Chain A
Amino acid sequence: MGLITDLKDSIRRVTDGLFSATEPKRIGIYGPPNAGKTTLANRIARDWTGDAVGPESRIPHETRRARRKENVEIERNGRTVTIDIVDTPGVTTKVDYTEFLEHDMEKDDAVRRSREATEGVAEAMHWLREDVDGVIYVLDSTKDPISQVNTMLIGIIESQDLPVLIFANKTDLDDSNVQRIVNAYPQHQVVPLSALEGDNMDEVYGKIAEYFA
């Protein structure tokens, strides 16, 4: 009995090794709405594959479906990591269609957008529980990082023992405050960047290669 169990364990270790060497890790890009997740996903995808992931917008909830860009091969400091980037809708606990009316949207469009947004958030939560191997958590460094959504999501990610990098985005803006994010989440690696301007992307790719290899 013990011999069979040992044999099964050995086979599993070998097959696990084979899969981990060939199958790309699915890295979810999470964060609150308008943190710059799609801008980052597009920056990474364009830098390494030449294609974009999806449209960017200043209107919240532009991304209302999780989008996956497969087989993005990132090479840094002698390390190569192949990942699938999963750009997810911004997570929130509330969606009010009247907020979209402020962006010159008709009521029918605003209601439709809010309905799609709620579906997208539910989908993002499902991906987080079931389908990602690691997380890039994107925060707008001009905003207070200790929001309830951030606290809850980082707690959920920690509880699943997923590797996580926190990206302090929008460092090109005058009121960016990266230290506030470092102080809020001292247990995690925080990397400053501007996905829009492409600032500090060398360190970004170095950390991705290091954390998700």
Chain B
Amino acid sequence: MPEATPTDGPEPGDDGVQIDLVSGERMDGLTSMEKIRLILDGVRDGNIVILEQGLSPDEESKLIEVTMTEISPDEFNGIEIETYPQSGSSDGGFLGKLMGRSSGGSKKLTVIGPANRIETLHKDETLISALVSRR
């Protein structure tokens, strides 16, 4: 049986907003490019994608790069992405690096949406408040 994709199921109404909450477990089984494709396919459909565990810094770098190649006038302006800012020293420490934990905010809940539909109202170390407009 084929695996369900986030966009399967009933189409949201014209004034609805689809939100895909993607578990860390689901992302763990994907390669970097598969993760980026999953995010951008959802966002280009107008959805808000929420990642339970975020992306690694390298994946974030590639997400920016691929997003730039897909921007097209009057069609896709890019993405809005928010994670909680890091608090204090963020290098993860020597033990963190030894254990393979990369620095730079991975494993943090991440909200991604189309740049023309999501606007961040407030962000601090414990709260992200965003306004999502309808289609």
Interface residues, chain A, with chain B CB atoms under 8 Å away: 91-97, 111, 114-115, 118-119, 121-122, 125-126, 128-129, 146, 148, 151-152, 154-156, 158-160, 184, 186-187
Contact = CB atoms under 8 A, between A and B. Distances in A.
Given A94-B115, A125-B62, A152-B57, 17 more contacts: A91-B64, A93-B64, A95-B78, A96-B115, A111-B73, A114-B71, A122-B68, A125-B64, A125-B65, A125-B68, A128-B61, A148-B83, A155-B105, A158-B104, A159-B56, A159-B57, A186-B89
B34 interface: no
Given A92-B78, A122-B69, A187 B56 contact: no
Interface in B67-94: 67-69, 71, 73, 77-83, 85-86, 88-91
Contact of A95 (B60, B68, B102, B103): B68
B58 to A, nearest CB: 7
- Give 10 closest A-B pairs by Cβ, nearest first: A155-B104, A94-B78, A94-B115, A159-B57, A122-B68, A118-B68, A156-B57, A125-B65, A96-B77, A187-B89
B23 interface: no
Report whether over half of chain A's contact residues are helix, strand or loop; otherwise say mixed. helix
Contacts of B115: 93-94, 96
Nearest to A146: B85
Size bin of chain B's contact surface: 35 or more
B81 A152 contact: yes
A159 B64 contact: no
Interface of B: 56-58, 60-62, 64-65, 67-69, 71, 73, 77-83, 85-86, 88-91, 102-106, 115-116, 120, 123
A155 B90 contact: yes
